[in-house]
Amino acid sequence: MQTKNTVSRRTFLKVGAGVLGVAGLAACAAPRSAPAPSGSESAATQAPAQAPAAGKTKLRLMTWSGGEELELHKKAFAAFTDKNDIDLEVTAVPFAEYYTKLQTEAAGGAAADLINIGEAYTARWAASKVVLDMNPFIQSDATFNKDDFWPNVLENFSWQGGIYVLPKDYVTWGLFYNKTLFDEAGLSYPDETWDWSPEGANKYLEAARQLTKKEGDRITQYGTMVPSGWGYWVPRIKDVGGRYLDESRTKCLLNEPQNVQVFQWMSDLINKENVAPTAEAQGAGFGFNSGKVAMMPQGSYMVPSLLEAQFDWAIAPHPQGPKGRNSIMYSSGYGIYAQTKAQEAAWKLAVHMTREGSEILAVTGFSIPSRQSIANKPGLYLNEKTIPHNVQVFMDASKYMSLHEVTPTWTQEEQIINAEVSLLMNGEKTAQAALDAVVPQINALLAKSS
């Protein structure tokens, strides 16, 4: 099935010229659309490949997973290859380099057969004809039930009527909090009554102030972390009634007053209130996992790394804003390379990762399966290790999660935003100055791609 936007190889290279901003990715631990790699590889790595046995289909998959996350995914892949006549080679590329590597391989006609893609980047690769529309596969598979997927999840991988990525799981955000530090301060734990506001008193800020400790002029404990990536600021501007783009997705609205207030509030928590660590302080060991930060807005992918923490912790809904409560949705899955000669094998593995594969990921608390029937299995995502930490918050967030206004040039848009927001969070610019610098650049990109 062909979409209306056929893009030439030259145009594809032009559209793909942007590279993701590392600072913004680290700040929102993404993905995430997706979850970010936990490894520290600086170049593409590949799982050891053996010569395929006679008659076996050889399949290559490219992913951004690294470290423990990659090992977890390999277990999910092995559950597939153990039952199928398929030899799988896994190419792992650090997320900061991932889409640039994909661009290079696709432009050379040599991309992996199955490609890991996040929801925010689907439009670009669909419009560029790098991945196939999966509707023909879905329609010919009698066992495939579209209604089993969480509605928002499958919808966010669609482009002009086609479904270009099969999502294996999704991630929502909540407020991680250190119960030990709250107990020491004699404070009640965060709950659904908590609020936040870019102006005036609110429970979140008051708690952050009380949970920040000093010894002389030196801060020894911080009240909260402040992520700077789109996984955090998108729902926060929705909390105040703002938007990233207008309804036509041709104009950036980030420098409108309510949005400016949100970004300035984020910076002020670090540079004015001094209740959140700077990037330098984080590098010196002030992260939530250290036990020296009381709160952390983040996604469910943080759960596995905290299961062995030396302090008691749990998760609450993120405090609601003046106009409601919102959460971003990260999701990722696999698209089939348009030029692969192993379409059927790639389809089978993509489907496997929405079933048994997603179960293997879910039991660690890493992510929520994209299929409702699997997500709701007793003892799977909600199990004896995760229930005490209240991971139910992430399941409940499916009611108010959403994606921002995605366009085919999002990769470049994100790079522009990250560069300016980095200056804002470092205290080198005001929110107004940073966003005033962002908007014309985004509008120029949108105009060229329309």
Q: Examine residue 428 and state whether it is found in any structural domain, yes or no.
A: no
pLDDT of residue 54: 53
Model confidence over 380-400: pLDDT tens digits?
A: 999 999 999 999 999 999 889
For 82, other C-beta atoms within 10 Å of its C-beta total 8
Which residue's structure tokens are 């120029």?
A: 444
Q: Does residue 130 sit in the same domain as residue 68?
A: yes
The answer to whether 158 and 278 are in contact (CB under 8 A) is no
The answer to whether 86 and 56 are in contact (CB under 8 A) is yes
CATH number of the structural domain spanning residue 223: 3.40.190.10
Residue that terminates a domain, selected from 328, 362, 383: 328
Q: Kindly indicate the confidence band of residue 411, based on its pLDDT and cuts at 50, 70 and 90.
A: confident
**Spatial separation of the C-alpha atoms in residues 387 and 379, rounded to whole Å:** 9
Q: Does residue 134 sit in the same domain as residue 57?
A: yes
Helices and strands in the chain: count of H runs, count of E runs: 19, 16
**Taking the model in full, what pTM does it have?**
0.80
Structure token pair of residue 296:
């952390």
Q: Does residue 335 sit in the same domain as residue 324?
A: no
Alpha helices in 192-256 (DSSP H): 203-210, 230-239
Q: Does residue 295 sit in the same domain as residue 361?
A: no
Average the pLDDT over 100-105 and give the result: 95
Q: Collapsing DSSP states into helix, strand and coil, what is residue 183?
A: helix
**Spatial separation of the C-alpha atoms in residues 97 and 103, rounded to whole Å:** 10
**E strand or H helix at 266:** helix 257-271
Q: Examine residue 188 and state whether it is found in any structural domain, yes or no.
A: yes
Q: Does residue 234 sit in the same domain as residue 265?
A: yes
Instruction: List own/partner pairs for 204-207 with CB under 8 A and 24 or more apart.
Output: 204/295, 204/319, 205/269, 205/273, 205/275, 207/294, 207/295
**Spatial separation of the C-alpha atoms in residues 243 and 250, rounded to whole Å:** 13
Model confidence over 52-94: pLDDT tens digits?
A: 455 689 999 999 999 988 999 999 999 999 999 999 999 999 9
Q: Examine residue 440 and state whether it is found in any structural domain, yes or no.
A: no
Kind of pairing between the strands at 401-402 and 327-328: parallel
Q: Does residue 316 sit in the same domain as residue 376?
A: no
Q: Does residue 181 sit in the same domain as residue 168?
A: no
Q: Does residue 226 sit in the same domain as residue 164?
A: no
- Domain assignment of residue 269, given as a range: 174-328
Model confidence over 3-26: pLDDT tens digits?
A: 333 333 223 333 333 322 323 333
Model confidence over 289-348: pLDDT tens digits?
A: 999 999 999 999 899 889 989 999 999 999 999 999 999 988 999 999 999 999 999 999
Q: Does residue 355 sit in the same domain as residue 319?
A: no
Beta strand spans in 240-341 (E): 295-299, 313-316, 327-328, 330-336
**Spatial separation of the C-alpha atoms in residues 230 and 328, rounded to whole Å:** 9
**Spatial separation of the C-alpha atoms in residues 164 and 423, rounded to whole Å:** 36
**Spatial separation of the C-alpha atoms in residues 22 and 26, rounded to whole Å:** 6
Alpha helices in 278-365 (DSSP H): 279-283, 303-306, 343-352, 356-362
Residues contacting residue 285 through CB under 8 Å, at least 6 positions apart: 292
Average the pLDDT over 147-156 and give the result: 85
**Spatial separation of the C-alpha atoms in residues 212 and 222, rounded to whole Å:** 4
**Spatial separation of the C-alpha atoms in residues 266 and 201, rounded to whole Å:** 15
